Structures are given as structure tokens and as C-alpha cells.
Structure 1
Amino acid sequence: MYHSLGENSLAEAYFEKALRLHQVNYGDQELGIVQPLAHLAEAKRSLEKFEEADSLFTKAYLLQTKFDNENIKGLADLESQIGELHEDRQNFSKAEKWYVQALNRYQKIGVTGTTMVDETKTSLGKTYAKQGRTDEALKLHEEVLDSYRKKYQKGSLYIAGKWNRISETYRIAEDWEKALAYSDSTFFGIIAIAHFTQFQLDRRFTDIYKYCGVFKQPDYNSGAGIQSCSPKGNFGNNCRLGQKL
């Protein structure tokens, strides 16, 4: 629970206790310890204790392959988590290897469209983009966007997040027009969610248009109000809000 709330220090302490209890009761050379190891490793990764996380993930993976090598999904889930660790350490080629391996395993057993598969694709797309391979990244991000549109209702924050990821990738590719178009879609996705505060909307709006000098702030109720942007950033003279994808 603490980990899902972002309270990683508290989560780390509880996962350490859980691991010790498991070692006392069952030892540290059996399949059941894989999950406690992985949970603690994930908490360590979130706290940027990368060496400790690496050691724990390595132990978990070795035990998984030793005792349950036929559990393809279990191996894929671990490989995706290990990929995240390497991505956090800015080792994108290693992260790519683990993500690709995980996705190949999911494909082998016909697992598609799950959150784990979609997020692994998103992570792989991010590593491609950071290596300058934006076309490959965009292909994956578009696939995930299509998947999320099937799973979530229009206006979902999850869909807005995927629009934003595509926008970020177009920015890396220096395709400013498409980057802005997807940022517009992200913005409209957020204002469609009634519980967002004015402060949160103001922050998102500022982020979307940080490359454009906006002359007029939008009407959050109607989505209207942007008439033009100065060529302050790289989007040029004709930035316009309202293009929905």
C-alpha cells in the first residue's frame, strides 16, 4: 500500500521485514521468496538505491529461472522491472534489451493489452526516444494509445498521459507542430476531468505552452481562448489550441 501511495521509505521498511520473515520461515532458496525480493528491489529502485535494487533483482531472477522457468509471464514481469532499473540508471541499451525480452515472452504466450504489456511498451518507447530512435518510439506509443482508448473512457487521465508521452517524443524529434497538437489533446483530456483544480490546470497549461508566449489564457469551461502565440519558442507563429486527435 505504501509503495502505491509513493511512500517508498515506509514501503522499503515493510518489504524488508517481509523478506526477513520469509527467510526465517522458509529460507532463501525457494520460489516463494521471489516476490518479496522483487517488491523490496522495486522500493529500492524508487529510492534510487540502484546497487541494492540490482542485487535483489538479480537474486529474484536467478531463483525464478531456477525453480519456475516455465512461468513465462513471471519471467517477463521481472524482466520489465529490471529494464526500468537500467532505464533509471541511464543505461538505455541494457534497458532496451530487458524490455524487448519481456515483450517477446508476453507475445509468446499470447498476453496482449494488459497494463504490464502496455507499460513495458511505453518504457521501451522512452528508451528508443532517448537514443534518438523516435520513429520506433512513436510506433510503440501509438500502439499503447490505441490500447488505452479501448480500455478507458474518453477524458481519462490515463489516455491524456499517453497523449503527453507522444507529445514529448515529437519534441525530442523536433517536430514542433505535432508536439503541440498532442499537447493540446493532453490539455483537453485533463480539463475533461472535473476534479482537477484550477491550480493543476494552470500548471499543465504552463507546461504545454512553455515554448510559446501565450497572449490569452484559455477558458477552462469551453476550452477556448487561445488566439495566437508569439514565436518565442520553436513552434513558430501559428500555435493554436483546439486541435483534437
Structure 2
Amino acid sequence: MELMNQKLQNAACSLDRHGYCCINAAIPHTAVRELVGLLVPLAKRELRPPLRIDLRHISSPSTSPIYQLNRPSEINPHIKASAAFQEIRNMLEMMHLSCHFVSDALILKDGPHAPATPWHQDVAYDTGPSDPRGGLTVWVPLDAADRVTGGLRYLVDSHRDGLVRHLTAEATKVRYIADDTMPSSTVHETTSRPGDLCIHWRTTVHGSAEVRGSHSRLAWSLGFELRP
């Protein structure tokens, strides 16, 4: 318990200072197994091919897609009753982040060579956020996520710039930051495993790496809005 308290204290400091934080071994193994049991069957049933996001026009050429299923917790209500979901809520409270759950998405990068996700801010997809930081995103890897398998990458301190100009790919409605408004900052490549969490403000500029080789990477993304 003492170790976790220290982890959460460090995470809260990183989130405030740099706009993101990563917490290793945040979710117990039993809760991870339960979550995998809920989300992986849903991914196999729903993600090929209902919502395909083809990024070939704004990233390196690829024949492999990215699939996204919005609001899986509405399809299977047991997801919000899972131990992992409760752990995430509890950790946010312990980090003194008073917020409520808004929505979630299940995202599959299906190798080989699934394209990189372009630099963007989650708030660019929101309408009228009540907080200038646009709320929070909690990103939960269900597979290893690193430089080979498409790990998250952040622009350090980019949450301080507010919403910057994005372009929209008409065919897919994917939003990405225009070159002339791209913030200048250090890139931090993350490495995460099942049980880890990445948390960022919705104004934090981030993306994810291309999947190299035949790997696939499944992740669960949760959106939270800060309470007034």
C-alpha cells in the first residue's frame, strides 16, 4: 500500500508538470485477467471490421488497419462493474482528481505494420469541455505496447498550450495536428504492459508508434471529465 501511494503521488506530480503519467503494475493480475476476459471476446466479435480507421493517407504506407469500437462498456455493462474499472476510479480519487466517467473505446492496431497514430489532442474530438484541460484520458494496454508494438508517445509539457489547430481527414474523420501549429517539445516514448496505466490531460499532445512486424496491440481508452 505504501509503495502504491508513492507511485500515485509521483504520477500526480508528473501529470501536473508534464501533462501525462505512466503507472507500472497499477492493476492487480486478477483484475487484468477479468478485464481481458471481458474485452478480448468483445474485440474478436466487434472489431473486425465494423469501425476501421485507415491512416494510410497521413502516415507511412500500410496495408494493416486500426480498428476502433466506441463505448464497449455500453455493449457489455459488466465492464464498468469490473475490478479494473473500480481500481482506476479509486486511483484517480487518490490522486485528488475528482472526475466522472464519460466514455470509452477499444482500439486494435492489427499488424503487420499497422501505421502510427498521428500527433493529436483528445480534446480536439470533444465539444464544449467544461475544463480548460479538457478532462482526462486513461489508457489501459491489454497487450505489450512499446516501440515495436505501437506504444504511446507524448510531447512533454504540451498540455500547457491549450487546444491547437487540427486538420480532419474527410474519409475517416481522424483529427491530427497541422504542421504549422505543432508544439516544439521533447518526445517521450513509453513502454507499458498489461496492468500498467497511462494517464494524460485531453490537451496533451500524443500519438503512438507504428507496429513493426506481425504484432497486434489492443488497448482500452477511458475518458473522464473533471467535476466543477
TM-score of the pair, normalised by structure 1 = 0.23
Bigger Rg, which one: 1
Structure number having the greater strand percentage:
2
TM-score of the pair, normalised by structure 2 = 0.25
